Chain A
Amino acid sequence: SQQGEEDPQALSIQEGENATMNCSYKTSINNLQWYRQNSGRGLVHLILIRSNEREKHSGRLRVTLDTSKKSSSLLITASRAADTASYFCATEGDSNYQLIWGAGTKLIIKP
């Protein structure tokens, strides 16, 4: 079952602006991961944040995690046209063998 929910479903911004996407989940987790999917391609792992972490950075990416609100956000700073893609969050719980995926946010960066 899908437990992650990303919002917004779609986001269109100008190149150079910052893009923020959110993910909410329902059950307790060990970690939360963000992936990117370019159209027609497989997913690429971006960043993993553990349940005892609050914030993590990787290049232009900044991820936050609020376990009390069961939510995470992905911030992409200084967006580029190449950032156009769908972004998915996935959560891993204690006993799951599988990651639980949200439906994704479709991000369009306008040149």
Chain B
Amino acid sequence: NAGVMQNPRHLVRRRGQEARLRCSPMKGHSHVYWYRQLPEEGLKFMVYLQKENIIDESGMPKERFSAEFPKEGPSILRIQQVVRGDSAAYFCASSRRQKEKLFFGSGTQLSVL
């Protein structure tokens, strides 16, 4: 049973470009969470999705950031017109049901030049 898969592992973008981060949850998991982590800091919640629905996006900036979890395929976190401050590790986690323990992917390290 494969774990949570995130790709790419590392992503380098220039300012103004778009970043697309992908997350495939564990088999049987329909709840996906995206987190952002800066060095030496804890996780900051961004968005919580179930299949085809955004449940809570209170941690996600209103501009430039969007997330989706389509019926088929991985969840996508999309950052448009990236700025240097977007550089961080972005982690995806999934769970079978709401409020169950989370299984994390290995993260995508986004570097904005």
Which residues of A does B touch, CB under 8 Å?
A: 2, 4, 30, 33, 35, 40-45, 48, 88, 92, 97-104, 106
For the complex formed, measure the closest distance between the CB of A15 and the CB atoms of chain B, giving whole angstroms: 24
Chain B interfacial positions (CB closer than 8 Å to A) = 4, 6, 33, 40-45, 48, 55-56, 58-59, 91, 93, 98-99, 101-107, 109
Q: Is the CB of A42 within 8 A of B105?
A: yes
In the assembly, what is the distance between CA of A48 and CA of B102, in Å? 11
B106 touches A98 (CB 8 A): no
Contact A45 B105 (CB under 8 A): no
Q: Are A43 and B104 also in contact (CB < 8 A) when A92-B99, A97-B55, A98-B59 are?
A: yes
Q: B103 to A45, Cβ gap below 8 A?
A: yes
Query: In the complex, are the beta carbons of B106 and A30 less than 8 A apart?
Result: no
* Closest chain B residue to A44, Cβ basis: B104
Asked whether A98 lies within 8 Å of B45 as measured between CB atoms, the reply is yes
A-side contacts of B44, CB under 8 Å: 2, 101
Per the bound structure, the CA–CA distance linking A92 and B97 in Å amounts to: 14
A30 touches B105 (CB 8 A): no
Identify 13 residue pairs between A and B in the complex whose beta-carbon atoms are under 8 Å apart, listed by A's number: A2-B42, A2-B44, A41-B106, A42-B4, A42-B93, A45-B102, A48-B101, A92-B99, A97-B55, A101-B43, A101-B44, A103-B41, A104-B42
